[in-house]
Amino acid sequence: MDRIEAMRVYTRVFERRSFKLASLDLNIPASTVTEVIKAMEKRLGVVLLERTTRRVSPTIDGETFYHRCISIINDVEEAEHGFSTSTPQGLLRVDTHGTIARHFLLPQIHTFTEKYPDIKLFISESDALRDIVSEGIDCVLRVGRLADEHLVAKPLCQLEEVTVASPSYLKKAGLPCCIDDLHTHKMIGFYASDQSAPMPLEFCEDNGTIRELSIPRSISVNSAESLVALALQGMGIVQVPRYHIEAHLKEGRLVTLLTHVPPSPSPLTLLYPQNRKYSARVNVFIEWLESII
């Protein structure tokens, strides 16, 4: 194994804090990973990783070497990026919301796997913006305004948001005609994964002003699926991306409200670690996403 490939092995062990997980990610035997790290430490004359039965932890020298490796790997991949004719291959781990996966990705995922048969795609579902480096995730797809200095953010599109309630709820509470009418209504509270308070309702007025309003909550949840399920049961007003409830709107199970003051659209963003910037697998996945969204 050449030194660049050995550096790739080392950086994956460093990120995953595990020889076994690194070997699974790289699809090489765990014994090979161990041999590569031992040979690297012997050649450098330093201990890079402290091993215990439960965890792998980098030494100070290991931290320094990791960042040098990332810089070298990025330089090599950037230099080769415009010339490579090889087919991208290997494991690509993508994490996303379940509703995004089922609406945007899964209906057309066969077009990606047919075009890149040597990429082994793993899609996991979660709401939180996890520590994607230590978990070995290559990129995450999220809705909302996100910021993380350690991640590259690639905006994909703006998702229309709507204010809705069920006919059964409106029959009891009445149809609001303006924002001030909402003071006599109830909302279903929604806790975003990174927030300690439920999100207020948001409205864009004609003059461009964003008005936020919190009204009494009948119940609160932290799952988009539960939010919609409770709205269908007549528990209150919610604001959600239109794509998530399009079928319910067409069938009349939910009704749009206050369409003259809609919520702000929510950005759909792909985020990935800085050291995946020139990864062929990530780049072709981004190109495919842009073609289908």
How is the beta sheet containing 90-96 ordered, strand by strand?
119-125, 90-96, 139-143, 266-273, 151-159
Please report the pLDDT score of residue 128 as a whole number. 67
With cut-offs at 50, 70 and 90, classify the pLDDT of residue 129.
low
Give tens-digit pLDDT for 20-39.
Answer: 989 988 889 999 999 999 99
CATH number for 33: 1.10.10.10
Do 244 and 166 share a structural domain?
A: yes
Over residues 116-137, the mean pLDDT reads: 80
How far is residue 127's CA from residue 293's CA, in Å, rounded to a whole number? 20
Listed residues 34, 49, 81: the one ending a domain? 81
Listed residues 33, 57, 81: the one ending a domain? 81
Please report the pLDDT score of residue 86 as a whole number. 67
Do 70 and 103 share a structural domain?
A: no
Tokens matching residue 55: 């965890």
Number of domains in the chain: 3
Lowest mean pLDDT among 26-40, 60-74, 220-234: 60-74
pTM: 0.72
CATH number for 213: 3.40.190.10
Mean pLDDT of the chain: 88
Give tens-digit pLDDT for 69-107.
Answer: 888 887 777 676 666 666 787 888 899 988 889 989 999
Please report the pLDDT score of residue 182 as a whole number. 95
The residue segments making up the domain with residue 250 are: 161-264
Do 226 and 169 share a structural domain?
A: yes
Q: Which residue has the tokens 């703006």?
A: 158
Do 170 and 148 share a structural domain?
A: no
